[in-house]
């Protein structure tokens, strides 16, 4: 949650916070502009942008970028092409050397890695601060990447000796050598081809730019240094001065960049400017996606101004941006520097493995007159404040392959425990044990299922984590035991800021053992957050991780029970009195790296430590941790939510594009606060939000401390029933949702899917981000996100047959189709060809459904076929990793009109023992939509076959007519889910 609640204690309101509060009282826009940097107030961004502008004014045949490769340094061996890039500097005899590697990976991706030679060497550079690590930070990949990074020696060189002599190196690689990388030395560029067509080009525009270490030039001792950041007039003057400069000079830092002042803070920059930048072009791709987190359209906009575009680059810098603006490229709580480009029948991706402040400009250029393709191309420009240049290129060929390739690098969504996919009830705050248990009982009274109730910061004694506010929570164990009776869980918040207070052991031992983030002077860094003065655990340190794990031990964390799970908030980190509401960039982390190098990674290391803590305390249970800050790889750890939104329609609208963006960037387990965090939703908004939220991968209602209570039954009828229906629909679909998460856990396919995943050829659908396909179900969902709206147009992206999920009305034909959507209706079409699996009985929580029978819902495609899968396990333990699960394939074949169930897993002992626990679970109902009853072999019945027996089951037939498809319902065919069976229609 963000900071401005009514419960802020007086001492916290010291002068600076009062100042902040004043800025917030002015319009939100102005407040944000003051608190957070723009590209102009970020010297490395402004400079690289000006460099790009200057370069684009010159014809490339005239401009000669200062970076080139000497072909004599280049060699290729066993999947690794390496050499050196050189930067010429005016008036210097020797160029600066940047060794590079182009690594061809077995997963089909290519890694391009560039370091700075002088800083990578062992001997100390004269003038380099001796208490900081000299090498550029090169561990972003270490934290983000879990895949194999060893070169694939099956990659082979395809360039001739002549081409090599001319400085052109060609390598064929990837599946059946369909991919080819072509590196040209001068001008330096790397093109990535698939089947003879270039899909990704690095340094297409020659914007590669890496600052090199040099001691602070004397001019910057001038007292005016860097003030142009804060005073526009100075900036103007400087622009005048630099107008006549050669283009190269625009790329080089001025002496002002050895120190950075912003918002009253001074960043000492002891290592000087060390930015990196590179342009990446996607030839004839008009749409790019990803790079969450931004509250913006799914298809990313251009960032250099113009109608409907942004004039600032998209920024990746984890910040606590409470009540964020929508339709903005501003930085938010998390950062995944992964971008996907999609065009007709083709998808590619790039991953920029860098954890520092990063800005990304996007422009789309018209095709050249003589161009082969008539499409625009997307040209991107990536700029990071520090670190090595480390970028991965994925060539698809389709979206699923891109996700698989990105997942092979950064890992996949951990399969969540099933309760985490149920409904979560949260509020800042449930104030006492009685409050918690009353809300818990309210769900049962109103027959609304839910799985988890949440505690925000107020449960603690003075915001000291691992303690309980005794007067309100005297017996937390008992409270959790009561919840456990319905197999429900409690999630409590634990943040990385640790209250600085004598006698508080968690702080004292952390401090004594120096496990906190340090200042540039090497002292413990203290700042303000919820508890007042605090220190931040430095989870880059293995000792700090061990210490953190220790705090959670069941015996040590008093009042905690096995059904207690964790929520990590404020882990950007949020520091109320820090620059950009975060830690100073010259703070120091484990390994003597500066905070600037690891800023976007910190939040992930903190969640990782929490996950390790939960695993250590209950090794057999799958952990659940929710985070607000994240980085590439965070998907391996748990769920994320989109932070502090508000109870306004535009936040309901923006949630979906945000969820789609997270999903394509590997982080599919995501949701937005249902109802809106700040403010009070109208009953209509709340209803529509539950209807949308029932399809968010992570489904949680949450509310700010100053908002009115809004538990799902508080608005009375018809709203209680509408909210109940939405939540129950979620629970019905849990088997299918769990199956989709299972697939995400090894293939990386998001649960909420953009149009292009099922209709990759339809370019008209690329900009559509207000509807989505849901998991494996084939359900095309378009939630209503506008006030007063009772109808909508839903876009069908392919020529498959679709059925209204609720009344079986048939829709067909690419384009928009009108559909009624009164307040009690969620517009959902079911795409022909899919079999979805439901559990239709109401239970109080998901774990109580474990032995309930299944319903199969079959929507036949144009040709009368359909297929689907079901993944099932115990839902909570790690036994599935040892094979204790069920994985079945259902197929309805139009040739013989037989529905078959087949196993998709190898048999082993663990399956057998798991199967035993569910061998009475049967399919209680089969619904077939779109089947022509004249095709029935026996009219009025179907014949089932299982275990060498056969029997007849009667059916109900609803005839087609009035635009609706026919429906056949088989009631209780008596087949059990664990075995193979078939049913003859
Ligand atoms: C590192 O050295 C600089 C300059 O010598 C000094 O100002 C700073 O306090 C030192 N920091 C640490 C962590 O010792
Ligand atoms: C968590 O961090 C450890 C290093 O402390 C690493 O080995 C592990 O892979 C990380 N876990 C996940 C799930 O990313």
The pLDDT tens digits for 784-812 are 999 999 999 999 999 999 999 999 999 99
Quick one: pLDDT band at residue 910, thresholds 50, 70, 90? confident
SS3 labels along 631-698: CCCHHHCCEEECCCCECCHHHHHHHHHHHHHHHHCCCCCEECCECCCECCCCHHHHHHHHHHHCCCCC
- At 55-74, the pLDDT tens digits run 988 766 677 899 999 999 99
pLDDT digits (tens, 9 = 90+) for 368-406: 766 667 889 999 999 999 999 999 999 999 999 999 999
- Is 569 noted as a catalytic residue in this protein? yes
Strand partners, 83: 100
- Candidate list 248, 569, 587, 861, residue with the active-site label: 569
**How many beta carbons lie within 10 A of that of residue 56, not counting itself?**
17
Q: What pLDDT is attached to residue 247?
A: 79
The reported pLDDT for the residue numbered 1 is 59
Q: Inform me whether the pLDDT recorded for 103 exceeds 50.
A: yes
Q: pLDDT tens, 848-888? A: 999 999 999 999 999 999 999 999 999 999 999 999 999 99
The pLDDT of residue 875 is 97
Alpha-carbon distance of 387 to 119, in angstroms, equals 11
Q: If you average pLDDT over residues 65-86, what whole number do you get?
A: 97
| Residues contacting 490, CB < 8 A, separation 6+ | 436, 452, 453, 454, 455, 479, 480, 483, 561, 563, 564, 565
Confidence grade of residue 218 (pLDDT, cut at 50, 70, 90): confident
Pairwise CA distance, residues 178 & 334, whole Å: 35
166 is catalytic: no
Helix, coil or strand: residue 809: strand
Q: Are 393 and 105 in contact (CB under 8 A)?
A: no
Phi, then psi, of 21 in degrees rounded to 5: -60, -35
Radius of gyration, CA atoms only, the chain: 29
What pLDDT was estimated at residue 243?
Answer: 52
Distance (angstroms) between ligand 1 centre and the Cα of 131 equals 6
Q: What is the pLDDT of residue 58?
A: 77
CA–CA gap between residue 297 and residue 631 (Å, rounded)? 20
Which residues fall within 8 angstroms of residue 657, CB to CB, at 6 or more apart?
Answer: 296, 297, 298, 769, 770
pLDDT at 560 over 60: yes
| Cβ–Cβ < 8 Å for 456, 465 | no
What lies within 8 Å, CB to CB, of 217 at 6+ separation is 255, 258
Alpha carbon nearest to ligand 2 atom 1, residue: 608
Average confidence (pLDDT) over 936-949: 94
d(CA 275, CA 213): 10
Using the mean position of ligand 1's atoms as its centre, give its distance from the Cα of residue 521 in Å: 5
**Long-range contacts at 797-800 (CB < 8 A, ≥ 24 apart):** 797/755, 797/758, 797/759, 797/762, 797/764, 797/765, 797/768, 798/758, 798/759, 798/762, 799/862, 800/831, 800/832, 800/833, 800/861, 800/862
Q: Whose CA is nearest to atom 7 of ligand 1?
A: 521
Closest-CA residue to 406 (of 255, 504, 291, 300) = 291
The answer to whether residue 242 scores a pLDDT higher than 70 is no
636 in contact with ligand 2, CB cutoff 6 A: yes
Ligand in nearest proximity to the CA of 523:
1
> What pLDDT score does 24 carry?
41
Domains and CATH numbers, the chain: 1-35 (no CATH), 67-212+275-397 (2.60.40.1760), 421-753 (3.20.20.80), 771-984 (2.60.40.1180)
pLDDT at 151 over 50: yes
For the CA of 604, the closest atom of ligand 2 is: 14
- Residue to mutate (ligand 1; options 128, 129, 525; most atoms within 8 A of CB): 129
For residues 74-91, give the mean pLDDT.
95
- What is the predicted pLDDT for the residue at 27? 43
Rounded to an integer, the average pLDDT of 595-610 is 98
pLDDT at 124: 94
Taking the C-alpha atoms of residue 422 and residue 561, their distance in angstroms, rounded to an integer, is 20
Answer yes or no: is the C-beta of 129 below 6 A from any ligand 1 atom: yes
Distances (CA, A) of 142 to 149, 390, 756: 10, 11, 32
Task: Specify the pLDDT at position 227.
Answer: 44
H helices within 364-419, ranges in order? 399-410
| 180 included as an active-site residue | no
Ligand closest to the CA atom of residue 630: 2
As given in the structure block, the two tokens for residue 195 are 């089947």
Catalytic residue among 152, 390, 458, 644: 644
Give yes or no for residue 588 having a pLDDT over 80.
Answer: yes
Q: Is 517 in the pocket of ligand 1 (CB under 6 A)?
A: no
Maximum alpha-carbon separation in the chain: 94
In this structure, the residue with its CA closest to atom 2 of ligand 2 is 608
DSSP string, 169-223: EEEEESGGG-EEEEEETTTTEEEEEETTEEEEEETTTS--EE----PPPGGGGST
Contact 632, 334 (CB under 8 A): no
Given a cut of 80, whether residue 934 has pLDDT beyond it is: yes
Given the residues 572, 586, 769, 873, the one annotated as active site: 572
Q: Tell me, what's the pLDDT at 323?
A: 79
- Looking at ligand 1, which atom is closest to the CA of residue 268? 7
Nearest to 313 by CA among 358, 359, 381, 275: 359
User: How do beta strands 981-984 and 179-184 pair?
Assistant: unpaired
What pLDDT is stored for residue 31 in this prediction?
A: 57
For ligand 1, atom 6, the nearest C-alpha belongs to 521
818-833 per-position pLDDT tens digit: 999 999 999 999 999 9
Asked if the model's pLDDT at residue 232 lies above 50, the reply is no
Ligand 2 atom with the smallest distance to the CA of 608 is 1
Closest residue to atom 1 of ligand 1, CA basis: 131
CA 521 to ligand 1: nearest atom: 9
Mutate to test the pocket of ligand 2, among 409, 590, 612, 638 (most ligand atoms within 8 A of CB): 612
pLDDT of res. 25: 36
pLDDT digits (tens, 9 = 90+) for 443-492: 999 999 999 999 999 999 999 999 999 999 999 999 999 999 999 999 99
| DSSP-assigned states of every residue in 535-554 | EEB-TTSHHHHHHHHHHT-T
Q: Could you tell me the two tokens for 567?
A: 């929520």
Separation of alpha carbons 980 and 945, rounded Å: 9
Strands 338-343 and 265-267: unpaired
Between the CA of 877 and the centroid of ligand 2 the distance, in Å, is 19
Q: What pLDDT score does 270 carry?
A: 95
Tell me which residue has its CA closest to atom 11 in ligand 1.
521
Best CA proximity match to 629, nearest among 589, 697, 700, 570: 570
| pLDDT mean across residues, the chain | 93
Task: Report CA(522)–ligand 1 centroid distance (Å).
Answer: 7
| Average pLDDT score over residue span 724-749 | 98
Residue 730 pLDDT level (bands cut at 50, 70, 90): very high
Ligand 2 and 401: CB distance under 6 A: no
Nearest residue (by CA) to ligand 1, atom 5, is 129
Comparing CA positions, the residue from 56, 659, 89, 675 lying closest to residue 304 is: 56
pLDDT for residue 726 is more than 70: yes
Does residue 127 register a pLDDT over 50? yes
* HEC readout, 843-911: CCCHHHHCCCCEEEEEECCCCCCEEEEEEEECCCECHHHHCCEEEEEEEEECCCCEEEEEECCCCCHHH
- Which bound ligand lies closest to the C-alpha atom of 609? 2
* Beta strands 949-958; 967-976: pairing state: antiparallel
> Residue 6: which pLDDT band, with cuts at 50, 70 and 90?
very low
């Amino acid at each position: 949650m963000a900071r401005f609640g009514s419960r802020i204690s007086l001492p916290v309101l010291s002068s600076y916070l009062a100042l902040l509060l004043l800025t917030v009282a002015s319009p939100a826009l102005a407040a944000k502009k003051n608190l957070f940097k723009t590209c102009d107030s970020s010297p490395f961004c402004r400079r690289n942008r000006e460099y790009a502008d200057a370069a684009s004014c010159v014809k490339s045949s005239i401009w000669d970028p200062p970076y080139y490769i000497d072909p004599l340094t280049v060699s290729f061996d066993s999947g690794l092409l390496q050499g050196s890039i050189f930067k010429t500097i005016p008036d210097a005899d020797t160029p600066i050397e940047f060794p590079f590697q182009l690594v061809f990976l077995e997963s089909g991706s290519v890694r391009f890695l560039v370091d700075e030679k002088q800083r990578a060497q062992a001997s100390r550079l004269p003038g380099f601060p001796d208490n900081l690590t000299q090498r550029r930070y090169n561990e972003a990949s270490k934290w983000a990447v879990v895949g194999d990074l060893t070169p694939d020696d099956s990659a082979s060189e395809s360039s001739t000796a002549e081409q090599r002599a001319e400085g052109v190196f060609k390598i064929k690689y990837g599946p059946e050598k369909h991919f080819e990388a072509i590196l040209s030395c001068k001008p330096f560029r790397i093109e990535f081809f698939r089947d003879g067509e270039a899909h990704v080009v690095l340094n297409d525009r020659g914007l590669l730019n890496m600052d090199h270490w040099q001691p602070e030039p004397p001019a910057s001792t001038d007292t005016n240094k860097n003030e142009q950041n804060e005073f526009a007039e100075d900036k103007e003057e400087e622009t005048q001065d630099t107008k006549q400069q050669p283009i190269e000079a625009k790329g080089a830092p001025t002496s002002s960049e050895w120190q950075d002042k912003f918002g009253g803070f001074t960043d000492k920059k002891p290592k000087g400017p060390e930015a990196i930048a590179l342009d990446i072009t996607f030839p004839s791709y008009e749409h790019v996606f990803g790079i969450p987190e931004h509250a913006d359209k799914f298809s990313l906009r251009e960032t250099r101004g113009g109608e409907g575009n942004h004039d600032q680059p998209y920024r990746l810098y984890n910040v606590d941006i409470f009540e964020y603006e929508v339709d903005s490229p501003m930085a938010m709580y998390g950062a995944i520097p992964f971008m996907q480009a999609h065009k007709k029948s083709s998808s590619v991706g790039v991953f920029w493995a860098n954890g520092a402040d990063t800005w990304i400009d996007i422009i789309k250029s018209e095709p050249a007159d003589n161009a082969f393709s008539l499409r625009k191309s997307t040209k991107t420009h990536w700029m990071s404040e520090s670190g090595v240049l480390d970028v991965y290129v994925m060539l698809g060929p389709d979206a699923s392959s891109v996700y698989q390739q990105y997942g092979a690098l950064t890992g996949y969504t951990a399969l969540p425990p099933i309760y985490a996919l149920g409904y979560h009830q949260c509020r800042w705050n449930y104030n006492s044990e009685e409050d918690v248990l009353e809300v818990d009982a309210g769900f049962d009274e109103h027959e609304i299922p839910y799985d988890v109730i949440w505690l925000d910061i107020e449960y603690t004694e003075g915001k000291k984590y691992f303690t309980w506010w005794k007067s309100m929570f005297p017996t937390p164990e008992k409270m959790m035991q009561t919840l456990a009776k319905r197999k429900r869980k409690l999630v409590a918040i634990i943040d990385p800021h640790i209250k600085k207070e004598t006698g508080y052991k968690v702080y004292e031992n952390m401090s004594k053992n120096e496990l906190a983030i340090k200042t540039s002077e090497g002292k413990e860094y203290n700042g303000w957050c919820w508890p007042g003065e605090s220190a931040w655990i430095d989870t880059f340190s293995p000792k700090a991780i061990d210490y953190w794990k220790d705090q959670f031990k069941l015996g040590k964390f008093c009042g905690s029970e096995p059904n207690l799970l964790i929520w990590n908030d404020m882990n950007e980190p949020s520091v109320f009195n820090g620059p950009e509401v975060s830690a100073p960039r010259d703070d120091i982390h484990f390994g003597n790296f500066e905070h600037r190098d690891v800023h976007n990674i910190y939040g992930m290391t903190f969640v990782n430590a929490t996950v390790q803590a939960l695993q250590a305390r209950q090794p057999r249970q799958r952990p659940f941790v929710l985070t607000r800050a994240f980085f590439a790889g965070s998907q391996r750890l748990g769920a994320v939510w989109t932070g502090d939104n508000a109870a306004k329609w535009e936040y309901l609208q923006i949630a979906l594009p945000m969820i789609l963006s997270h999903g394509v960037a590997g982080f599919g387990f995501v949701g937005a606060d249902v109802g809106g965090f700040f403010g009070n939703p109208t009953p209509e908004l709340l209803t529509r939000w539950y209807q949308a939220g029932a399809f968010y991968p992570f489904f949680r209602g949450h509310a700010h401390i100053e908002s009115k209570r809004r538990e799902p039954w508080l608005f009375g009828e018809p709203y209680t029933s509408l909210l109940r229906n939405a939540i129950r629909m979620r629970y019905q679909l849990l088997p299918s949702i769990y199956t989709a998460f299972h697939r995400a856990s090894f293939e990386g396919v998001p649960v909420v899917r953009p149009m292009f995943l099922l209709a990759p050829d339809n370019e008209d659908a690329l900009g559509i981000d207000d509807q989505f396909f849901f998991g494996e179900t084939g359900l095309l969902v378009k939630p209503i996100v506008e006030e007063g709206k009772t109808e909508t147009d839903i876009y069908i992206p392919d020529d498959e047959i679709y059925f209204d999920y609720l009344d079986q009305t048939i829709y067909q034909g690419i384009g928009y189709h009108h559909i009624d959507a009164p307040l009690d209706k969620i517009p959902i079409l079911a795409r022909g060809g899919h079999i979805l699996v439901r559990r239709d009985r109401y239970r109080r929580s998901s774990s109580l459904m474990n032995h309930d029978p299944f319903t199969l819902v079959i929507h036949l495609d144009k040709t009368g076929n359909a297929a689907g899968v079901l993944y099932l396990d115990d839902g909570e333990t790690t036994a599935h990793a040892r094979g204790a699960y069920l994985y079945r394939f259902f197929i309805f074949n139009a040739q013989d009109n037989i529905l078959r169930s087949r196993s998709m897993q190898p048999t082993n002992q663990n399956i057998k023992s798991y199967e035993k626990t569910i061998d009475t679970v049967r399919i209680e109902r089969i619904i077939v939509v779109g089947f022509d009853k004249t095709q029935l072999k026996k009219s009025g019945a179907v014949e089932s076959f299982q275990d060498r027996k056969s029997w007849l089951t009667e059916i109900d037939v609803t005839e087609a007519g009035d635009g609706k498809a026919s429906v056949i319902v088989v009631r209780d065919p008596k087949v059990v889910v664990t075995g193979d069976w078939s049913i003859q229609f």
